[in-house]
Amino acid sequence: MTLPNGVERREFDGRESLATDGPTVSDEPSIGGWRRWNPNRSKVGAMLDHGMEHGLSGGETVLYLGAASGTTVSHVADFAGPTYAVEFAARPMRDLVGVAEDRQRLFPLLKDARKPESYAHVVEPVDLLIQDVATRGQAEVALANRQFLEDNGRLLMAIKARSEDVTADPETVFDEVVATLEEGYEILDRQRLEPYHDDHLGVVAVPNTDG
């Protein structure tokens, strides 16, 4: 699988790993400006490491839902274009603002991904919608934010089974979430994200023509 421009496989401590070229955020190893992208700490990193059909070339305009303290979205902003990072909680937002100080293309938004109308006046049409939110109704969030995605854009989504139903079989949860997602998207690829993330499903999708 071809990686986006700005993402490479580099060797850190004798082991090959994904890496992006940008300022370090925490304690990740960095060699010559290239910082390790740890798939154990990033659903998107796990999706790329698994070779999912991401279809990215680099330079895309991004809306990232569930940016948290900025670990993954900082890597995304390293290879993407303008990156709008939505996070609901104030504490991780403080860290995210600090991450954005070193990245001119990263724009933190203290907003609720379940209420896209609250940031519709800020976010431009995007090529890539990334979703990593820990809430029930994950498919509904992706459908509500579909309005920002260009017709030829892509959705990269990490579905958390336990956020939907902590007692249900994860595969049953995944099937139900994907079935709802198909009301507005065509699924291109779906893969479990083990061993990096238990009970998570990675999904790559495009807007469907009649959604």
**Is 24 assigned a ligand-binding role in the annotation?**
no
CA 5 to chain centre: 17
| 28 annotated ligand binder | no
**Cα angle vertex 136, ends 200, 80, to 5°?**
60
Whose CA is closest to 193, among 35, 8, 42? 42
Instruction: Report CA torsion sign: 31, 105, 98, 37.
Output: negative
For 195, counting Cβ atoms within 10 Å of its Cβ (0-12 exposed, 13-18 middle, 19+ buried), the class is exposed
**88 annotated among ligand-binding-site residues:** yes
**C-alpha to C-alpha distance for 1 and 27, rounded to whole angstroms:** 28
Q: Tell me whether residue 123 is annotated as binding.
A: no
133 assigned to a ligand binding site? yes
Q: Can you tell me the distance from the alpha carbon of 108 to that of 132, in angstroms, rounded to the nearest whole number?
A: 15
Pull the structure tokens for residue 109. 């938004």
**Binding-site residue ranges:** 71-72, 87-88, 112-113, 132-135
**Binding-site residue ranges for S-adenosyl-L-methionine:** 71-72, 87-88, 112-113, 132-135
